[in-house]
Amino acid sequence: MPSESRRFGRLLLTGADGNLGRELRPRLRRHCQTLRLSHRQEFGPAEPGEEIVLAHLENKAAMAELLEGVDAVVHMGGVSTEQPWEPILASNIVGAYNLYEAARRNRVRRIVFASSNHVTGFYRQREVIRPTDPVRPDGLYGLSKAFGENLAQLYFDRFGIETVSLRIGSSYAEPKDRRMLATWLSFDDLERLVVAALTAPVVGHTVMYGVSDNATCWWDNTPARHIGYRPQHDSEVFRAAVEARQPHLDRDDPAVQYQGGAFVRTGPFEEDGR
Amino acid sequence: MPSESRRFGRLLLTGADGNLGRELRPRLRRHCQTLRLSHRQEFGPAEPGEEIVLAHLENKAAMAELLEGVDAVVHMGGVSTEQPWEPILASNIVGAYNLYEAARRNRVRRIVFASSNHVTGFYRQREVIRPTDPVRPDGLYGLSKAFGENLAQLYFDRFGIETVSLRIGSSYAEPKDRRMLATWLSFDDLERLVVAALTAPVVGHTVMYGVSDNATCWWDNTPARHIGYRPQHDSEVFRAAVEARQPHLDRDDPAVQYQGGAFVRTGPFEEDGR
Amino acid sequence: MPSESRRFGRLLLTGADGNLGRELRPRLRRHCQTLRLSHRQEFGPAEPGEEIVLAHLENKAAMAELLEGVDAVVHMGGVSTEQPWEPILASNIVGAYNLYEAARRNRVRRIVFASSNHVTGFYRQREVIRPTDPVRPDGLYGLSKAFGENLAQLYFDRFGIETVSLRIGSSYAEPKDRRMLATWLSFDDLERLVVAALTAPVVGHTVMYGVSDNATCWWDNTPARHIGYRPQHDSEVFRAAVEARQPHLDRDDPAVQYQGGAFVRTGPFEEDGR
Amino acid sequence: MPSESRRFGRLLLTGADGNLGRELRPRLRRHCQTLRLSHRQEFGPAEPGEEIVLAHLENKAAMAELLEGVDAVVHMGGVSTEQPWEPILASNIVGAYNLYEAARRNRVRRIVFASSNHVTGFYRQREVIRPTDPVRPDGLYGLSKAFGENLAQLYFDRFGIETVSLRIGSSYAEPKDRRMLATWLSFDDLERLVVAALTAPVVGHTVMYGVSDNATCWWDNTPARHIGYRPQHDSEVFRAAVEARQPHLDRDDPAVQYQGGAFVRTGPFEEDGR
Amino acid sequence: MPSESRRFGRLLLTGADGNLGRELRPRLRRHCQTLRLSHRQEFGPAEPGEEIVLAHLENKAAMAELLEGVDAVVHMGGVSTEQPWEPILASNIVGAYNLYEAARRNRVRRIVFASSNHVTGFYRQREVIRPTDPVRPDGLYGLSKAFGENLAQLYFDRFGIETVSLRIGSSYAEPKDRRMLATWLSFDDLERLVVAALTAPVVGHTVMYGVSDNATCWWDNTPARHIGYRPQHDSEVFRAAVEARQPHLDRDDPAVQYQGGAFVRTGPFEEDGR
Amino acid sequence: MPSESRRFGRLLLTGADGNLGRELRPRLRRHCQTLRLSHRQEFGPAEPGEEIVLAHLENKAAMAELLEGVDAVVHMGGVSTEQPWEPILASNIVGAYNLYEAARRNRVRRIVFASSNHVTGFYRQREVIRPTDPVRPDGLYGLSKAFGENLAQLYFDRFGIETVSLRIGSSYAEPKDRRMLATWLSFDDLERLVVAALTAPVVGHTVMYGVSDNATCWWDNTPARHIGYRPQHDSEVFRAAVEARQPHLDRDDPAVQYQGGAFVRTGPFEEDGR
């Protein structure tokens, strides 16, 4: 639809060959004249309306170049699972800093930042929280995403660069386990969310959860209603199948107690934990 | 339907020849035995079931007469745009006082007061607010509506006269611009809202926003769920057309930054503003 | 459906011959292998998949026995209307204590407790409250239910026994009067609510209101969204009939002013009230 | 001082021979014409200006008689430690009900109720709470005090009997251990608190913590500043001595983690706890 | 003290011959080079360092002239008691508008506005409120002061004119009755408050209560701690005398129930109230 | 005093040769048997009761060694002013991670972390905030301290290592400018604060502001009253001198508008800012 594609000239999608990047790639192409795709390693040729620029997030000069001529960024790049400190430091801390510095120098005005529900993973599954509650990361990954959100806040307060930080739940074709009945974000809802975050007229730095309209939910997005995200999917249709697959839960397992699930008890700490 | 028309004996609609008054006139007739219509100037003959009483809001005696024998009031009268101080003072401050004094003397027990979102127009479009947040009027018009709300609170606390103050967004046949995607109130939803405000058993002084169920919204009406207003329309169906008509927004324009839109930068102040 | 019936081995339903117990009996049978039914007096034979164990709540030994071998409890038993102190003390205070002690000794881990909106009946019908607001019981019945909720909190904090306290509104085939337009809980929604409360993975002690998705509502269940209760019914379809049946309300009647309705002015106090 | 003694005609002090009753007895005598003292068993003769009426709290008729001719009550009676259910039920639940019923029948208008910090004992020592936060009793004693507070709320909302519920911390000559550095209430501050609660013009049902002005404190009494209680003592002067006496704390001990201290792990449950 | 007098060049004090104006006159002279004094009628000659300019608040041209060359305003002028609508409208509504318009045209940047506790007089004496709670005026006077506060908010949001709105309690040489034990503001504390409000570097529009450090207090000024007001007086030293003078209170009198005291039941409404 | 010195065996002070480290060094020696001092470069010999271990924060192995045998840490080390990204990354991000990892491996259970008010420097000087409000760092330094706080939260939630994060205001011998009238922390109050943070029995992860009892203050430490910090100094005694030295403020200067002062407009961004 021509009127929609006029929304953006050049849109940058980082992490274009990651799980969510691959879903968003064809969907975002509809919303811009040129979709610039970036990833760490090569991932095949550009389609019409696309251009590909490889870059490592920890490479400041490469990042500055990557953002040249860009109108807005959908930042799905970086580490997206619990990993050792070094790669997280490189991609999600140094890399996020490089991204925002590049945005500042290139006068990019809007970033959609893939944050994570693991920023608040140490809240309980029996609590309903808001984006403004204090963060409680459940590991180094969540910690690095909290850093990214604070960086976004700084670059808005200081330089006027706007960000929507999406604390994405679990974005898969369908919910895989009991926890995802609460955290599931369908791919179509992910698209709705990213497009709303890109096109809302003013967002400042808005933090919100990326989740479908699941009957069970731990997150209250009321403070972000100005984004105009209206999810259409509900994990409930998968409940019977999911409960059949995972009939028993060990209620004393921290992965069942906390919103972060298994993230709260795995990671690079274990070798010599207490 | 006879059972519904029994809801009110005589209902007064002020501002009956204004934009919203003309929409409400045929709709409210269904809910009462007699619809008394009032406006500043003549506006044609009464239909069956109607009676017409002209009155100037700033005329205390005329207002006292206007409310005689009335069961409830839908007060759409007065100035509804940013204007110089004098007409606002006359209609919206003195006029509102005259209306409530007339209600007190005539023992009218319920008023639906057309307040305005401009009572809180200096909040940002990136904020979601509640009716209980401190007011931030965006001009003399919003200031006068805040006065009306406080007056309503006083007459409830002191005399038991109940009011629902409706902070109406933008009530038009359809949203005209990007801002109205958030503020739009369809005429049918306006009717639902006014009828709910008139018929809810107890309301004290309730403040709420008058807005359809738009995907994008800056207002959280949760504290007013006891009114029983359930909007049925969503501005989303007009989004593509509106965005096509208004593809570019100047994000640095106060009219884009603040909820009040252009009201925050127009008005009778400009001649010698700073 | 086999996968669902595997959810519980033996489920205990107390108050099985009460108004709500009779509704829940056939509905809960679908969710467990054995439904143990209990009431004060005999109430007929067990159906297939059921077993019947009579017990008085105030009888500690009988209660201990009643909970033997039970996986979870739906506690609908006890006094459910305003009554003199003695039966309320026996069933709802001593009885609740006996139930939780029996649960502790038998290592039952989940209780769905039929609390009541009368725990907060002295809030106004013009207020919207949350489960975390301070309690304001409207009589001895509401007071006893507040005791039960606090007991549940204690047994969770101290012994890890989880409870969902359902502050049930008005659960009938349809709303009988104007107040019930706000408080109505359809039987199907009651079932949805109880099943969600039984099967949510972790609940700690969660307090929530038991109410359908009525347009008019005084209660904001947002803090309990983790339970996954999604009501399907709305009292609005009964509005015209209800308003026709009860066209006039005396707004000065405490039963109209307060959420508790007639409970706020009836009860065992009247003989020598002030 | 004659002007002060005119404050009350007849004041009733229950639990007059308990630890705090004995402290308050000579202090309250200064504020009334007659101090009626009550306890379960005999405790010696009345002093001038006193009268003694023995009564068991669970004896409804005796309580009704005890409150005859009384202007206000300072209710220090009942069980004040963790004990088995039966005595707590008798004195603190049935007894509290009897007291309020007696107050209603005798038109007593003000009660100062000795509640306890154990009503919220399951909050953490690293949290600062307010009287309006949800209760989390740490045992049967705390549970019974929560019942008393709710009863007081009911008798205010329904009958206009006013209560100040004092969640007393640790009222001793001096703090005995590390926990009491936070919870200590000096006897002089106890007197100030009770007198303020008796003489504040309007109190409705006010809940507040009874604690001196300790540097370390878990409770924020801001919502009760209308009572006019201004503590004069600070546990800090005892810190060095207390820390010398109790140099080591086991931070993993629930008694150190929770505000309720040792109450959270003792009591009548242990015989067959999990 | 020279360093202090350099704080302001020309300071305007309106209402200079009112009760508080007369107290502030000699005190403010110490803080400025020229103290311009204004009142409705003549009130004697100027002292050294003073200049006198008479003006009626409702006279727009006179007000514009009055503010010429002024650095800051202490606005104590206008009606300060409950009166009929007409004088309140003229002085406190039209007059306030004229003052702010004059400030805007003369580029005055700071106003200290004498608002009143009667802006929130319909809260209960058993409640502790904050400046950000919704207003509940207790009469036309309080309503007009709420208008003034909203006007101040508008002129800050729109024109950057800063205001501290002081909701003054009861400023007298000493508290005259029981209510004033809570509301008393000593003259020295009034001076401290006005000077702090004038000299705090940035205030935006700050609302706060004007009250001494009374043991009994209904108002929590925490949100205004940036003003740097530290009261030194406490009404407690007058308590015995005040209680002796007013030993009995009728607790059912609205003047005892509500923070506004007698204002909630007096005023120009009575002739034909309900 | 022997009883006090028994409080800690070996206490580690990092940044021992920084401004605050030099103040704390002799003061902390009184509270432990051995004070281990660390800094980046040599800074002279150890006094009796001290031991010196040099270490670079970004050196993981050195940090692991530094924390061997330590009971508690006062972490004043790292960059404490706005600087380029690289040193902040090395000392405050990588360094903080190394510190907590070293604490985990050495089973150190308490850290006092010198955070900074610049974590929330983009709040306005006309706002009063709490430690639980969302962070708004004013530069890379504040951003790195926010990282440190989140890291502390993670290591508490996951490993039980307790931290008090002190958002230190301006700790100097006396306030140097107008802003410091609000932010000043005297050296004696700094000592009180650090000692309270070290010795409070349970702290979890507590965030609080490090500030004296200044009349003017932007921070409400109520949520941290369990720490038992009671400041004794007030910047007010320096007000006249400070105002004389800095009589004029440019209210439009961001350094005057925001709590972070000049930090909000300086730093490594300027070369090519917008």
Give the DSSP H/E element, type plus range, for residue B205: strand B205-210
Separation of alpha carbons B14 and B25, rounded Å: 10
List the alpha helices (DSSP H) in chain B: 2-5, 19-29, 60-66, 85-88, 95-105, 140-159, 180-183, 187-199, 239-245, 254-257
Q: What angle do CA B19, B230, B9 make, to 5 degrees?
A: 60
Separation of alpha carbons E98 and E104, rounded Å: 10
Contact A63, A99 (CB under 8 A): yes
Helices and strands (H and E) in chain A: how many = 10, 7
Separation of alpha carbons C119 and F216, rounded Å: 43
* pLDDT recorded at residue F271: 55
Q: What is the mean pLDDT of residues E19-36?
A: 96
**Using CB atoms within 10 A of its CB, is residue F109 exposed (0-12), middle (13-18) or buried (19+)?**
middle
- Asked if the C-beta of F93 comes within 8 angstroms of chain A's C-beta atoms, the answer is yes
Mutate to test the interface with E, among B109, B158, B258, B274 (most CBs of E within 10 A): B158
**Amino acid at site D171:** S
Whether B97 sits among the annotated catalytic residues: the reply is: no
Chains B, C: CB pairs < 8 Å: 60
Is residue F262 predicted with pLDDT exceeding 70? yes
pLDDT band at E273 (very low <50, low <70, confident <90, very high): very low
Q: How many CA atoms lie within 13 A of E252 on its CB side?
A: 4
Is residue F220 predicted with pLDDT exceeding 80? yes
* pLDDT recorded at residue A247: 86
- Asked if the C-beta of E203 comes within 8 angstroms of chain F's C-beta atoms, the answer is yes
Query: In chain A, what residues touch B181 (CB-CB under 8 Å)?
Result: 228
Q: Which of F236, F240, F256 sits opposite E202 (nearest CB)?
A: F256
Which residues, including other chains, have CB under 8 Å from residue E213's CB and lie 6 or more apart? E189, E231, E232, E233, E234
* pLDDT recorded at residue A166: 98
Separation of alpha carbons B133 and A128, rounded Å: 22
Q: What is the mean pLDDT of residues A196-220?
A: 97
* pLDDT recorded at residue A270: 59
- In this predicted model, what pLDDT tens digit does every residue of A96-132 receive, in sequence order? 999 999 999 999 999 999 999 999 999 999 999 999 9
First-to-last alpha carbon distance for chain E, in angstroms, is 58
Separation of alpha carbons A89 and E52, rounded Å: 68
- The β-bridge relationship of strands E32-37 and B32-37 is unpaired
Contact E175, E242 (CB under 8 A): yes
What are the Cα distances from residue C160, in Å, to B245, C30, C96, E200, E238? 59, 27, 17, 53, 53
Tokens of F48: 């009796």
- The β-bridge relationship of strands E50-52 and D162-168 is unpaired
E244: closest chain D residue by CA:
D3
Span of A99-103, C263-267, E185-189, E205-209 with lowest mean pLDDT: C263-267
* pLDDT recorded at residue B7: 74
Q: What is the mean pLDDT of residues E225-233?
A: 98
From the CA of B147, how many Å to the nearest CA of chain E? Answer: 6
Tokens of C69: 């071998």
Mutate to test the interface with A, among C107, C162, C195, C226 (most CBs of A within 10 A): C226
* Stated pTM of the model: 0.96
pLDDT band at F2 (very low <50, low <70, confident <90, very high): very low
Q: What is the mean pLDDT of residues C235-262?
A: 94
Is residue E73 predicted with pLDDT exceeding 60? yes
Separation of alpha carbons B74 and B54, rounded Å: 15
- Asked if the C-beta of D90 comes within 8 angstroms of chain C's C-beta atoms, the answer is no
Q: What is the mean pLDDT of residues F85-111?
A: 97
* pLDDT recorded at residue B3: 41
Contact E155, E108 (CB under 8 A): no
Catalytic residue (one of F97, F123, F141, F229):
F141
Which residues, including other chains, have CB under 8 Å from residue C88's CB and lie 6 or more apart? C79, C140, C141, C143, C144
Query: In chain C, what residues touch D102 (CB-CB under 8 Å)?
Result: none
Tokens of C257: 């002013």
pLDDT band at F57 (very low <50, low <70, confident <90, very high): very high
Q: What is the mean pLDDT of residues C16-24?
A: 97
Mutate to test the interface with B, among A1, A220, A226, A229 (most CBs of B within 10 A): A226
Q: Which of D6, D201, D204 sits opposite E249 (nearest CB)?
A: D201
Active site residues of D: 141
pLDDT band at A143 (very low <50, low <70, confident <90, very high): very high
- Asked if the C-beta of A216 comes within 8 angstroms of chain C's C-beta atoms, the answer is yes
- Asked if the C-beta of C254 comes within 8 angstroms of chain A's C-beta atoms, the answer is no
Nearest to D81 by CA among D124, D118, D112: D118
* b (16+ CB within 10 A) / e for F213-222: bbbbbbbbbe
Question: How does the average pLDDT of chain F come out, rounded?
Answer: 94
From the CA of F230, how many Å to the nearest CA of chain A? Answer: 25
From the CA of A261, how many Å to the nearest CA of chain B? Answer: 30
B88: closest chain E residue by CA:
E94
Q: Which of E181, E220, E256 sits opposite D202 (nearest CB)?
A: E256
Q: Which residue has the higher pLDDT, E22 or A251?
A: E22
Beta bridge partners of A13: A37, A74
- Asked if the C-beta of C273 comes within 8 angstroms of chain B's C-beta atoms, the answer is no
Query: What one-character DSSP code corresponds to residue A132?
Result: T
Residue D131, φ and ψ in degrees, nearest 5: -60, -20
From the CA of F48, how many Å to the nearest CA of chain A? Answer: 34
Helices B187-199, B19-29: axis angle to 10 degrees equals 60
- In this predicted model, what pLDDT tens digit does every residue of A30-51 receive, in sequence order? 989 999 999 999 999 999 999 9
Neighbours of B26 (CB within 10 A): 12
Separation of alpha carbons B36 and B15, rounded Å: 11
The residue assigned the tokens 């949510």 is: C200
pLDDT band at E22 (very low <50, low <70, confident <90, very high): very high
Mutate to test the interface with B, among E104, E140, E154, E274 (most CBs of B within 10 A): E154
Separation of alpha carbons C103 and C71, rounded Å: 10
* pLDDT recorded at residue E270: 59
Q: What is the mean pLDDT of residues E221-247?
A: 96
Say whether the E–A interface has 3 or more Cβ pairs within 8 Å.
Answer: no
Contact B244, B200 (CB under 8 A): no
- In this predicted model, what pLDDT tens digit does every residue of C39-85 receive, in sequence order? 999 999 999 999 999 999 999 999 999 999 999 999 999 999 999 99
Query: In chain D, what residues touch F224 (CB-CB under 8 Å)?
Result: 128
- Asked if the C-beta of E89 comes within 8 angstroms of chain B's C-beta atoms, the answer is yes
CB contact under 8 Å between D201 and E251, yes or no, is yes
Chains A, F: CB pairs < 8 Å: 95
| pLDDT < 50 stretches in chain B | 1-5, 273-274
* pLDDT recorded at residue B274: 38
**Amino acid at site D144:** S
Q: Which of E126, E220, E240 sits opposite D202 (nearest CB)?
A: E126
* pLDDT recorded at residue B47: 96
* pLDDT recorded at residue D273: 42
B5: closest chain C residue by CA:
C244
DSSP conformation letters of A168-221: E-B-SSS--STTHHHHB--HHHHHHHHHHHHHSS--SEEEEEE----SS-SB--
Q: Which of F126, F181, F243 sits opposite E3 (nearest CB)?
A: F243
Contact A178, C201 (CB under 8 A): yes
The residue assigned the tokens 């709910």 is: B196
Mutate to test the interface with A, among F60, F83, F154, F270 (most CBs of A within 10 A): F154
Maximum CA pair distance of chain C?
59
Q: Strand, helix or coil at E142?
A: helix
Is residue F53 predicted with pLDDT exceeding 70? yes
- Asked if the C-beta of B157 comes within 8 angstroms of chain E's C-beta atoms, the answer is yes
Residue A258, φ and ψ in degrees, nearest 5: -105, 150
Separation of alpha carbons D26 and D75, rounded Å: 16
Say whether the C–E interface has 3 or more Cβ pairs within 8 Å.
Answer: no
Contact A197, A166 (CB under 8 A): yes
Question: How does the average pLDDT of chain E come out, rounded?
Answer: 94
How far, in whole angstroms, is CA D264 from its chain's centroid? 19
F206: closest chain A residue by CA:
A134
Query: What one-character DSSP code corresponds to residue A135?
Result: P
Question: How does the average pLDDT of chain A come out, rounded?
Answer: 94
- Asked if the C-beta of B118 comes within 8 angstroms of chain E's C-beta atoms, the answer is no
* pLDDT recorded at residue C221: 98
Tokens of B262: 């252009």
| pLDDT < 70 stretches in chain D | 1-6, 270-274
**Using CB atoms within 10 A of its CB, is residue D252 exposed (0-12), middle (13-18) or buried (19+)?**
exposed
B160: closest chain C residue by CA:
C252
CB contact under 8 Å between D216 and F204, yes or no, is no
What are the Cα distances from residue F2, in Å, to D45, D259, E41, F7? 50, 29, 73, 9
Tokens of D51: 């009268």
B214: closest chain A residue by CA:
A228
